[in-house]
Amino acid sequence: MTRVHVVLPGGVDDPDRPSGGNHYDRRLCDELRTAGPTVVEHEIDGGWPAPTTDDLRRLARVVGSIPAGAIVLVDGLVGSAAASVLVPQAGRVRLVVLVHLPLDDDAEGRVLRASHTVVTTSRWTRERLLTAYRLDPRRVRVAVPGTDPARLTEPSSHGGHLLAVGAVTPVKGHDVLVAALARLADLPWECRIVGSLDRDPGHAAAVRRSASGPALRGRVRLLGALPRPALEEVYATSDLLVLPSRLETYGMVATEALAHGIPVVATDVGGVREALGEADAPALLVPPEDPSSLASAVRAWLSDPDLRRVLRRRSRGRWRSLPSWAQTAREVAAALSGQDGGEGPVGTGPAPTGEPASPPHRPRR
């Protein structure tokens, strides 16, 4: 493999629009370049994953200009929503789709079945796609997100510096977090929420109102999106990451926290267990959308010094086994090069009938 064309959603490097998917894409492209191949990036502006006709036309012009037989890696936020453009091109170029977050609809199924290879960012996502779309498992690869080396934090004695990272949207569950924290007014803590406030302004405003209520007395601060150096400073002064999401395909913020030696309280959804590690996990897991259970887990952390010591020790053990971004890039490069034992499209037969694996949705990462 000497050259790969990578199709990315517009704004992948916009510091005001940070996301796990954008960070993955940027690190992947940079690491692939380091490994040798020429990487040609094509950013496609638009309302992905709900494109307009003009968005699809822009994508069609770009993909149509790529030489026949070229390797084309398409971010799933774009690719899974562009069946009308990509399915006809799948026989002309070597199409590989990188799925961060499944869309769970027929258009995505048609694109993935037409693709030469599909890359997912977790085993959980791989199984979800195999079940939903009857894909050939030999053509669906996993390349989990890497982590960067980070400075280990110096924890406080009381463990009360809480952190949540993620855009303030319903899927990230900050409303559940605020409801849980309101039950802990008798304990010493403060919580910082780092993440975009403009993805869903109405939801963010509702979370801010709840966080300003009398039960919390200003102990929850919404900091908005932060550039990477500022986020690193926040990690350096945090004791516990709280991840209250309704869905996570992997949980990159959890592994980022672990790289700093910070334990996690998280909802047991999607690929979160995969990110935390199956044995001696440095985390407490709770059901999603359950403020009472989330409050109980955070209370246990705040109230039990022995528990804090155990989870801190486990977190510092787990970060040593986390993959690097170079390892992630090697996995993707193997998929791009066709080191998967076969040729042809991913699909194994006609599209499945009936309902998708879960109700259709158009998430923004």
Q: What is the pLDDT of residue 338?
A: 81
Full strand arrangement of the beta sheet holding 283-286: 220-224, 190-194, 161-165, 240-243, 264-267, 283-286
Q: How far apart are CA 78 and CA 55, in angstroms?
A: 10
Q: What is residue 306's predicted lDDT score, i.e. its pLDDT?
A: 97
**What residue ranges do the domains of the chain occupy?**
3-146+325-336, 161-321
pLDDT per position as a tens digit, 263-293: 999 999 999 999 999 778 899 999 999 999 9
Greater confidence (151 vs 294) lies with 294
Query: Quick one: tokens of 15?
Result: 């510091």
Q: For position 339, what pLDDT does the model report?
A: 67
Q: What pLDDT does 258 receive?
A: 96
- List, edge to edge, every strand of the sheet that includes 71-75: 38-44, 3-9, 71-75, 94-99, 117-120, 140-142
Residue range 179-185: mean pLDDT, rounded: 97
Q: Which secondary structure element, helix H or strand E, spans residue 42, and what is its range? A: strand 38-44
To the nearest whole number, what is the mean pLDDT of the chain?
A: 91
Where residue 188 falls among pLDDT bands split at 50, 70, 90?
Answer: very high
CB 97 within 8 A of CB 79: yes
- What's the predicted TM-score (pTM) here? 0.90
Per residue in 84-125, pLDDT tens? 999 999 999 999 999 999 999 999 999 999 999 999 999 999
DSSP per residue, 294-307 = HHHHHHHHHH-HHH
Query: 287-296, pLDDT tens digit by residue?
Result: 999 999 999 9
**Fold exhibited by the domain 161-321:** Rossmann fold (3.40.50)
pLDDT value of residue 103: 93
Question: What percent of the chain stands above pLDDT 70?
Answer: 93
**Residue 1 clears pLDDT 90, i.e. is over it:** no
CATH topology match: 3-146+325-336 vs 161-321 = yes
**pLDDT at 5 > cutoff 80:** yes
Q: Read off the pLDDT of each residue in 237-243 and give the average, rounded to a whole number.
A: 98
**Has residue 50 got a pLDDT over 70?**
yes
List C-alpha distances in Å: 344 to 5, 64, 65, 134, 301.
19, 20, 22, 15, 51
Q: How far apart are CA 59 and CA 7, in angstroms?
A: 9
Model confidence over 58-86: pLDDT tens digits?
999 999 999 999 999 999 999 999 999 99
CATH architecture for residues 3-146+325-336: 3-Layer(aba) Sandwich (3.40)
The fraction of the chain above a pLDDT of 90, given in percent, is 83
342-361 pLDDT, tens per residue? 444 555 443 333 333 333 33
166 contacts 245 by C-beta, under 8 angstroms: yes
What's the pLDDT at 364? 47
Model confidence pLDDT, tens digit, residues 8-48: 999 999 887 888 899 999 999 999 999 888 999 999 999 99
The whole-number pLDDT of residue 346 equals 55
**Token pair 């704004």 is at which residue?**
11
- State phi, psi for 358 to the nearest 5 degrees: -150, 165
pLDDT at 312 over 90: yes
Q: Which residues pair with 265 in a beta bridge?
A: 242, 284
